[in-house]
Amino acid sequence: MYDIVQNLHSYWAYLVLTVLTVAVVNSIIKALGDREYKALDFRISLFTLIVSHIQLLIGLVLYIVSPRLSMFSELGMGGVMKNALLRLYLVEHPLVNIIAIVLITMGYSKHKKKLVSKSKFNTVAIFYLFALILLLSRIPWDVWMA
């Protein structure tokens, strides 16, 4: 079961990064061009929110079924924190990515309350861009691209 969930989590990440990048680029271009906020822009933001939350759920399941989780009881928190790979998988990756999903959720919620198109685009661009940067910073690239 672990391998199936891990593969799903890895492949779904491509979708998350693609959709999130599209949402950021769309918002930046339209904010700079003083474009009107339309239904397609709303759908892009909403789809990004949905896809990222699904990734979070898959990640939580992966975390629970991970054989690495037992390292907390074997090594203790200090032992996990001393090992860079275990720290990445058990602490940094989950924590930073949850923060990124929170930023996406906040950006989506805040942009809905804005009345002016430019401020809607700016809100999505800022929150989603920070989320994208956080996500990219904690991907285990050596394993993911192999």
Is 145's pLDDT higher than 80? Answer: no
> What is the spatial distance between Cα 61 and Cα 53, in angstroms, rounded to a whole number?
13
> What is the spatial distance between Cα 50 and Cα 11, in angstroms, rounded to a whole number?
16
Q: What is the pLDDT of residues 28-85, one digit of tens each?
A: 999 999 899 999 999 999 999 999 999 999 999 999 999 888 888 888 889 989 998 8
Q: What domain range includes position 121?
A: 2-144
pLDDT bucket at 17, cuts 50 / 70 / 90: very high
Q: Per-residue pLDDT averaged across 103-112, rounded?
A: 96
Q: What are phi and psi of 60, to 5 degrees?
A: -65, -40
For the beta carbon of residue 101, count every other beta carbon within 10 angstroms. 19
Number of structural domains in the chain: 1
Q: What is the pLDDT of residue 146?
A: 64
Of 10, 124, 120, residue with least CA distance to 62 = 10
